[in-house]
Structure 1
Amino acid sequence: MKLAKLPDRTPVKMNVVLTPGLAQRLREYAIFYAETYGTKEEVAELIPFMLEAFLESDADFRKGSKRRNGESMGVAS
């Protein structure tokens, strides 16, 4: 089978505390998103995708993750 077994997709709920300024910027981002795509989304719906995009764009984090994963699997890096 070409398709690998699907990963665990059970949602994990996390609570975070934001500064008032960051909360406002996130609301502004949601407004900008609606203006850009014509679809209103709640901030809480956007945040997981924003975090995923941030982590994917952080080259140093990706390099470090590969190095840590290789070490944890006994693979020399």
Structure 2
Amino acid sequence: MANLKLPKLPDRTPVKLTITISPELKAVLEAYASAYEAAYGEREPIAELIPAMLVGFLASDRSFSRGSKERR
């Protein structure tokens, strides 16, 4: 097999995760969804925004990123 520049794609099977949040956090997430709609002209469900928020948060956490590199 040839050495391709693109590595094998990771598992992309969605995983459903159920969490319980406080009413205050729900209100903040609803406000964020409204701000998102104002900025981009499209309403997105909170459940669609949260994964992107978590990815961004984890990517920006330098301490976690350093630990992730050490764990590999």
TM-score between both structures, scaled by the size of structure 2: 0.92
Partner Cα distance (1:67, 1:3) in 2 = 24
Q: Identity over the aligned pairs, expressed in percent? A: 52
Runs of 5+ consecutive residues of structure 1 not aligned to the other structure: 70-77
Paired residues, number: 69
| Structure 1 moving runs of 4+ over 3 Å | none
Q: CA RMSD in A?
A: 0.6
Aligned to 2:41: 38
Runs of 5+ consecutive residues of structure 2 not aligned to the other structure: none
Greater relative contact order (CA < 8 Å, ≥ 6 in sequence): 2
Deviation of 1:68 after TM superposition, in Å, equals 1.7
TM-score between both structures, scaled by the size of structure 1: 0.87
